[in-house]
Amino acid sequence: RSVNIVAFGSERDGFSEDSQQTSLIWSYLRRSALISQINSSLSAGHVGNPVFTEYQACVFGNVRLVVRDCPVWDIFDSDWYTSRSLIGGADIIVIKYSVNDKASFQELKDSYIPMIKKALNHCSVPAIISAIGARKNAVPCTCPLCTSDRRSCVTTSEGVQLAKELGATYLELHTLNDFYIQKYFGGVLEYFMIQSMNQKSSEKMKKRKRMQKCHRVQPPQLEQPEKMPILKGETSHYEADLHNLLCCCQCADVAFYPEDFSTVVEAHKIILCSVSHLFMLLFEVKTPADIHDASIMGTAQSLFAVEAGAAFSPAHRGIPPCVLPVRVVVKDSVFCSCLPDILHFIYSGAFQWERLEEDIKKKLKDPEKTEHVLEKVKCILKTPGKLNTVKDCRSHQIKRLYNTSLRLFFNTPVLADVIFKIQGATVPAHRAVLVARCEVMAAMFNGNYLEANSILVPVYGVSKDTFLSFLEYLYTDSCCPASILQAMSLLICAEMYQVMRLQHICELYIITQLQSMPSRELATTSLSIVSLLKKAKFHNSDCLSTWLLHFIATNYLIFSQKPEFQDLSVEERNFVELHRWPSNLYLKQLADYRNYVHSQKCHCTVM
């Protein structure tokens, strides 16, 4: 017997400096008298990154307890396959948030609760919503300057309303002491554990009754179908791609100079603007009226100067892009000496703040100058209208900003230096992102091809919607196909441009959708699995084509009745017949057993 619990969210205040705060789950496991033999380990998601801590223990003496604690909600954005598997296998779901982090609560309510409800798919899994912490500002400030304060508390009514939307039990834990952990939270959790075990025992008993065998002649045993091949996801190399762009300096459109023009450091406007409102202001993506932050505007004026006549618009002049980079003079000599390290920090994902601190300390060897440069970097990364703290520059917050901010420039003409023409429509894009993320486009824009010196690039062989989904993946490192057919079209596009990770993502999406399709829907669907198989083979998707063959063989009784079954080649037909389920031997044994039962003319003894 076992109980599986999945916990999402963090109990920590996003502005708290205490990184060692004990988690709710660990506090309960450590203090509960019912828990014994606790083991913990870090586990990786489908894309290979450590995303949750797994605890294994014993509860109620001999019941196996498995708890997976996921403190970061990013798993729903970056690894939907793992998050869906976690929710699908959970007997109990625990959702945690800090009452002093209103922004995280709002994001939980707007973005992640709908995802959890969709993943549950109307399954009755008990859920607990835990509001943790004592509210720091019980009386809200009426000062106009505080109306956008992110530290405003989450009220009890807001938590209760969220629990009603999910059908969950709402708990408020003012502190993680013995009373709230053992008596309050532990009592509710242990009640749901007992309910889960009772439900499993009841289902097991019902199944045992259904499987009672005939005393005279045993029916034939149906063996399980062969295990289908398992596809493994490819680890993301999104940040490495953009960092390599800085190292090779392809398609650079910005050149930073010291005041004496003795050296030059090249960069890309699209990358700089994706992490900094200051650079948006500097390169005229935003105006001072858009920024509304005197510190950002003051830092931009005191730190940089764009040379007059340096900025240009390739679309207006009709000259090839990436020819004349914008010349920017760095007025601060100390900051300029550290600019290569700062750019490496930005291009690596802008989340390795501690490493940047160490690099600048080693280079300058002067605490005052080091603090001066780091303050400038904080201002560059600052969000307008918000306080700039060291906490804002820590890894998890900046990394998340970086992965989503390039989406702002997706399919927009802002800073665009190439336009794709497809199906009579135009799609603006940025060569720097394309070259960094796609080797085929890197060769196309940097080799001896017509596209290298053209602004307008025609695209053939794919639809506009498919190509937009492809570009969206290049910009954001994520994709969410709307259907199996769209995923197959995107797979074909990914194979055309040799983006292997996107191809694997599409393969996994197709497999997941087909696996979740009930037999009745599979029998009536107009989707041609054989056509998917042919396309997968033609476009070198060996893993998917092998899996589809096993899928057809496993569902032989359904597909053998469809006209498309005749389109299989001789080799494919032989494979399906060899691995078909159920086998011919089983069907013959089943027919003999039915004939025996009817020949006995058995009647109900009660009637």
Would you list the DSSP string of 496-538? HTT-HHHHHHHHHHHHHHHHTS-HHHHHH----HHHHHHHHHH
The answer to whether 393 and 378 are in contact (CB under 8 A) is yes
pLDDT at position 497, please? 95
pLDDT mean values, one per 10 residues, the chain (607 residues): 86 60 79 76 58 82 86 77 81 89 87 84 83 72 48 85 89 82 83 87 79 58 66 78 86 91 92 91 90 89 81 39 78 94 85 86 92 92 71 48 72 94 95 93 85 89 95 91 95 95 94 92 93 94 92 92 93 91 84 81 48
Residues whose CB falls within 8 Å of the CB of residue 275, separated by 6 or more in sequence, listed in order? 346, 350, 381, 398, 401, 402, 405
Looking only at the bridges linking them, the beta strands covering 127-132 and 92-98 are parallel
How many beta carbons lie within 10 A of that of residue 49, not counting itself?
14
The answer to whether 273 and 279 are in contact (CB under 8 A) is yes
Distance CA 572, CA 534 (A): 11
Distance CA 458, CA 434 (A): 15
The answer to whether 438 and 444 are in contact (CB under 8 A) is no
How many beta carbons lie within 10 A of that of residue 185, not counting itself?
23
pLDDT at position 65, please? 87
Distance CA 249, CA 243 (A): 10
Q: How many residues does the chain have?
A: 607
How many beta carbons lie within 10 A of that of residue 351, not counting itself?
23
The answer to whether 335 and 364 are in contact (CB under 8 A) is no
pLDDT at position 535, please? 95
CA 193 to chain centre: 30
Distance CA 511, CA 546 (A): 11
Helix (H, G, I), strand (E, B) or coil at 299: helix
Closest CA to 195 of 116, 125, 128: 125
Q: Is the pTM of this model over 0.85?
A: no
Residue with tokens 């429509």: 425
State the span(s) of the chain assigned CATH 3.40.50.300.
Answer: 2-138+150-210
CATH topology assigned to domain 239-311+320-402: Potassium Channel Kv1.1; Chain A (3.30.710)
Whether domain 2-138+150-210 has CATH 3.30.43.10? no
pLDDT at position 233, please? 66
Handedness of CA 270, 274, 279, 284 (dihedral sign): positive
pLDDT at position 317, please? 33
State the span(s) of the chain assigned CATH 3.30.710.
Answer: 239-311+320-402
pLDDT at position 217, please? 62
Number of H helices, E strands in the chain: 30, 14
